[in-house]
Amino acid sequence: VIFIVGLGPGGEDEITPRAVQALEASDIIVGYKTYVDLLVSRLGHKKLIPFAMKQEIERCRQAAALALAGNNVALVSGGDAGVYGMAGPMLEVLDALEGNTKDLEVEIVPGVTSACSAAAILGAPLTHDFAVISLSDLLTPWTLIEKRLALAAEADFVICLYNPASRNRRDYLRRACEIIMNLRDGNTPSGWVRNAGRKGQAHKILPLSELKNEELDMLCTVVIGNSETKILRGRMVTPRGYKVEGSTP
Ligand code: SAH
C-alpha cells in the first residue's frame, strides 16, 4: 500500500487519528526533511527517508519502488497532501511507471491545510467564498498568477496566499497586494500567520495597504478579506450574511 498522508500544520495534536493510523501501518515514511523530522519523536521506530526540497518526482519514484517491493509506504506532506502536496505527483508517477503498479493500492489521507489552520488563528475570515493562490512561480508562470489574483479580487473572493515570499521573490507579496488593491480597498482587513501550529507561531492582522510592506517568508500563509470582512474583538470575520441582532444573554 502507498498512503499519501497530510500531516496538518505541524502540531502533534493537529494530525488526524486517521493519518496516525496510516503512519503506524507503514514500514517506511518518505517526505520533506522538516516534516519527517517532526515525526521522529513519535515514530522513531519506522524507517524514515527524508528528502531535500525540489526532489518531488524522485521521491515519488522511490516510494513507488519501495511499495512494489512489498513495503507499506507513507508519503507525507504538511497540511493536506492534495493541496500543493504530493498526492497529485504520486498518482502521475504511478501512471507513468510501466509494469505492475496497477495492483498497488493507493490511499489518500486528508489533513488540515494551512488556509484552515491560519484562518482559525486569525478569526473566521473564510466564512464566505475564498480562493487559494500560490505566489510560487517555480512551476507556474507569473503572468498566470497575476491573472488569477486580479480575477479573484474582481470576483470579491477572500484570497488566501500560499508561498507568499522566498529569498528570491522578496517583492512578490507587494506586487500581489498592488494587483488586489486595484480592485479592493486598502483598508481591507488582512492577516498573516507564520508557523501555524508549530514552534514559533506568530500572526498579525493589518490593513491590506500595510500587508504589502510586510517581510514574510515561505513559512507564512496570508489571508486577505473580501469587501465585507471586518474586525470583531480583534479578529478577522467575513460575514456569511446572517442577520445578527443584539440580544441580552
Ligand atoms: N500542503 C500544504 C501546502 C504546501 S505549500 C498545506 O496543505 O498546507 C507550502 C506553503 O504552505 C508555505 O509556503 C506556506 O504558505 C504554507 N504553510 C505550510 N505550513 C504552514 C504553517 N505551519 N504555517 C503557515 N503556513 C504554512
Residue 47: the pLDDT is 80
Note the pLDDT tens digit of each residue in 25-77.
999 988 877 777 777 667 766 787 877 666 888 889 999 999 999 999 999 99
Residue 246: the pLDDT is 84
- Residues paired with residue 221 on neighbouring β-strands, in sequence order: 193
Rounded Cα gap, residues 37 and 34, in angstroms: 5
Q: Is the CB of 192 under 6 A from ligand 1?
A: no
Residue 245: the pLDDT is 86
Residue 235: the pLDDT is 98
pLDDT under 70 in the chain at which residues?
Answer: 40-41, 44-45, 52-54
Which pTM was predicted? 0.94
Note the pLDDT tens digit of each residue in 208-228.
999 999 999 999 999 999 999
**Cell reading at 85:** 502536496
Contact 202, 244 (CB under 8 A): no
Ligand 1, residue 161: give the atom nearest the CA.
15
Rounded to the nearest angstrom, the distance between the alpha carbon of 69 and the centre of ligand 1 is 32
Ligand 1, residue 85: give the atom nearest the CA.
1
Residue 26: the pLDDT is 92
Rounded to the nearest angstrom, the distance between the alpha carbon of 68 and the centre of ligand 1 is 30
